[in-house]
Amino acid sequence: MSIVNAATAPLLTRSRQEAGPAKERPSIDDVIEAYMGATGVLQLLKAVFVAFAWAMDAQQVFISAFTDAEPRWHCLATASGCSPAAAASPCALPPGSWAWDRPAAASVVSEWALGCAGPALASLPASSFFAGCLAGGFLLATLADSLLGRKGMLVVSLASMSAVGALTALAPNVWAYVALRFVSGFFRSMVGTCALVLSTEIVGKSRRGTVSVACFLCFAVGFLSLPVIAYALRDASWRDMYLCTSLPCLCYSVLVCFLVQESPRWLLVRGRKQDAVEALRHLNGGRTTAASFSMSMLDACDAGTSGGGSVFAALWAVWERPWALRRLAAIMAASFGVGMLYFGMPLNVGSLGSDLYLSVTYNALAELPSTALAWVLVGRADRRGSVAAEVLSFFASCAALDVVLVYATELFPTSVRNSAVGLVRQAVVLGGASAPVLIALGRQRGSFWSFGVFGIAIGCSGLFVACLPETRGKSVSDTMDEGGGAQPIATAASCNFSACRVNHVP
Residue 133: is its pLDDT beyond 80? yes
Best CA proximity match to 182, nearest among 138, 125, 225: 125
Residue 492 confidence class, pLDDT cut points 50, 70, 90? very low
Residue 164 confidence class, pLDDT cut points 50, 70, 90? very high
Residue 59 confidence class, pLDDT cut points 50, 70, 90? very high
Residue 352 confidence class, pLDDT cut points 50, 70, 90? very low
3-state SS of 31-66 is HHHHHHCCCCHHHHHHHHHHHCHHHHHHHHHHCHHH
Q: In the prediction, which pLDDT does 165 show?
A: 94
Q: In the prediction, which pLDDT does 7 show?
A: 45
* 348 or 40, higher pLDDT: 40
* 415 or 64, higher pLDDT: 64
Helix-helix angle 322-347:356-380, to 10 degrees: 150
- 8 A C-beta contact, residue 27 and residue 482: yes
- 8 A C-beta contact, residue 374 and residue 405: no
* Range from 40-54, 267-281, 428-442 carrying the lowest mean pLDDT: 428-442
Amino acid at 453: V
Reduced to 3 states, what is the DSSP secondary structure of residue 75?
strand
Residue 250: is its pLDDT beyond 60? yes
Q: In the prediction, which pLDDT does 242 show?
A: 95
Cα separation, 134 vs 157, in Å, equals 14
Burial (CB < 10 A; 0-12, 13-18, 19+), residue 130, is buried
Secondary structure (DSSP) of 170-225: T--SHHHHHHHHHHHHHHHTTHHHHHHHHHHHSS-GGGHHHHHHHHHHHHHHHHHH
Q: What is the pTM of this model?
A: 0.70
Residue 62: is its pLDDT beyond 80? yes
Q: In the prediction, which pLDDT does 383 show?
A: 52
Residue 471 confidence class, pLDDT cut points 50, 70, 90? confident
Q: In the prediction, which pLDDT does 131 show?
A: 86
Give the whole-number percent of the chain exceeding pLDDT 70. Answer: 61
At residue 74, what are phi and psi to the nearest 5 degrees?
Answer: -145, 155
Reduced to 3 states, what is the DSSP secondary structure of residue 484?
coil
Q: Region 304-326: what's the mean pLDDT? A: 68
* 201 or 283, higher pLDDT: 201
Cα separation, 357 vs 345, in Å, equals 14
Q: In the prediction, which pLDDT does 31 show?
A: 66
Residue 399 confidence class, pLDDT cut points 50, 70, 90? confident
Secondary structure (DSSP) of 289-319: -HHHHIIIIIISB-----S---TTHHHHHHH
At residue 173, what are phi and psi to the nearest 5 degrees?
Answer: -150, 175
Q: Region 246-250: what's the mean pLDDT? A: 94
Residue 501: is its pLDDT beyond 50? no
Residue 496: is its pLDDT beyond 70? no
- 8 A C-beta contact, residue 421 and residue 196: yes
Residue 319 exposure: Cα atoms within 13 Å on the Cβ side: 5
Task: List pLDDT tens digits, range 97-112.
Answer: 777 888 888 889 888 8
287: CB partners within 8 A, 6+ apart: 505, 506
Q: In the prediction, which pLDDT does 391 show?
A: 41
Question: In this structure, are strands 98-100 and 73-75 parallel, antiparallel, or unpaired?
Answer: antiparallel
Amino acid at 258: F
Burial (CB < 10 A; 0-12, 13-18, 19+), residue 12, is exposed
Residue 134's alpha-carbon distances to 127, 212, 458, in angstroms, are 11, 23, 20
* 403 or 263, higher pLDDT: 263
What Rg do the C-alpha atoms of the chain give, in angstroms? 26
* 375 or 238, higher pLDDT: 238
- 8 A C-beta contact, residue 48 and residue 215: no
- 8 A C-beta contact, residue 493 and residue 305: yes
236: CB partners within 8 A, 6+ apart: 103, 105, 106
Q: Region 340-361: what's the mean pLDDT? A: 61
Residue 486: count of CB within 10 angstroms of its CB = 11
H/E stretch holding 150: helix 149-168
Cα separation, 375 vs 388, in Å, equals 16
Q: Region 57-69: what's the mean pLDDT? A: 88
Q: Which residues pair with 453 in a beta bridge?
A: none
**According to the per-residue pLDDT averaged within each range, which of 199-203, 356-360, 387-391 is highest?**
199-203
* 208 or 10, higher pLDDT: 208
Q: In the prediction, which pLDDT does 18 show?
A: 45
Mean pLDDT score across all residues of the chain: 73
Q: In the prediction, which pLDDT does 184 show?
A: 94
Cα separation, 115 vs 123, in Å, equals 10
Give the whole-number percent of the chain exceeding pLDDT 90. Answer: 17
Residue 372: count of CB within 10 angstroms of its CB = 14
Residue 441: is its pLDDT beyond 80? no
Residue 156 confidence class, pLDDT cut points 50, 70, 90? very high
